[in-house]
Amino acid sequence: MSDRALSFGARAAAYERFRPGYSTELYDRVTAYAGRPVRTALEIGAGTGKATRLFARQGVSVTATEPDAAMLVELRRHLPANAGTVSTVQAAFEDLRPGGTTYGLVYAAAALHWTNPEGRWPRVAALLEPGGVFASFGGPIRLADPAVEEAVRAARAPFLDSDEVPSPDGTPPEQHMQWPGTELQRSTWFTDVQQSVIERRLTMSADDYVGHLSTVSAYLLLPDREQEQVFDRITRVLPERVGLFADVTVHLARRSSEE
C-alpha cells in the first residue's frame, strides 16, 4: 500500500468533518441491482465510516475494514445509536484472508484505487456469496465555476500540477466506462457490470472547502510548510462560498457463477 494511501490518518477528524456522506439513493441503487435483500457486507477501506453508516442504518450487518487506526477511531465515534451491527477490523484489503466467511455485498467507497491490483478480483470474489454483489462508488469534488477553478489551479501550480488521483488503468476521462468498470469487464470473476452516476451538487464556505482539500492525499504528501503555503494561496482566490460538482459514480458487478 502506497504512502499516499496511508496518508489520511493524520487528518482523520478533518476527513470526518469535511468529506460529504452518501445518500439513501445509493443504498437503493445497490439493493435494486442485487435483486434481493442485502443482509451482510464487507467494506474495503472504510475510513471514518461515511458509507458504513449508510448501510448500517438500513439494517445491513457491516464488517468495516480499514488499515489506519485513527480513521477507525473516528468511525466508531460517529456510529449512530440506531445503526445496525458494525464490526471493525484494522487491516488493509491485501491482508484480509478469505477463510469461509462470505458476504452478500463487498463494497468500497472512494477507496478501491488504493488497493493493490495484483489478485484484487479473485480476492473480492472469494469474499462474496454465490451471486453476491460488488460495488465501488465515489468521485472527485470539483469547483462548479470555471473562473474559480482556474484561479485555484494557478494558486496550486507551484506545488502541484493536479490534486486528483489518475485512473489506475489509464482509462481516458472521455471514455464512457470508467475504472474500475473497465477492469471488472475484463475479469472472469464478475459479470453484469454496470456504471451509473448519482448527481450531487454542494455548496461550502471557502474555509470548509480548504478543509476538504486538507484531506486530499496530494496535499497530505506535501511538507507541512508547503501545505500552509498552498492553502493560504488558495484561500486568497476563493469567494466566500463555492459551488461544487460532487457526482458519485457507481460501479456494480455480480460474482460470476463460472468461477
CATH code of the domain containing 31: 3.40.50.150
What CA–CA distance (Å, rounded) separates 252 from 240? 38
Q: Which domain holds residue 172?
A: 9-141+166-203+244-255
User: Does the structure show a pLDDT above 80 at 75?
Assistant: yes
What does the chain come to in residues?
259
> How confident is the model over 192-235, as pLDDT tens digits?
999 999 999 999 999 999 999 999 989 999 999 999 999 999 99
> How confident is the model over 95-124, as pLDDT tens digits?
998 777 999 999 999 999 999 999 999 999
Q: What is the CA radius of gyration of the chain?
A: 18
* Amino acid making up residue 38: V
Q: Residue 122 burial (CB < 10 Å; 0-12/13-18/19+)?
A: middle
In a domain, 228, yes or no: no
> How confident is the model over 227-241, as pLDDT tens digits?
999 999 999 999 999
pLDDT at 259: 53
Instruction: Give me the mean pLDDT over the 10-33 stretch.
Output: 94
Structural domains of the chain, count: 1
Whole-angstrom CA distances from 109 to 46, 106, 131, 132, 240 are 7, 10, 21, 17, 30
What CA–CA distance (Å, rounded) separates 43 from 48? 12
What CA–CA distance (Å, rounded) separates 122 from 126? 6
Beta bridge partners of 98: none
pLDDT-derived band at 81, boundaries 50, 70, 90: confident
What is the average pLDDT score of the chain?
Answer: 93
Cell matching residue 69 = 487506526
In a domain, 137, yes or no: yes
Share of the chain above pLDDT 70, in %: 95
In a domain, 176, yes or no: yes
Instruction: Give me the mean pLDDT over the 158-166 stretch.
Output: 95
In a domain, 211, yes or no: no
Closest CA to 34 of 131, 179, 128, 108: 131
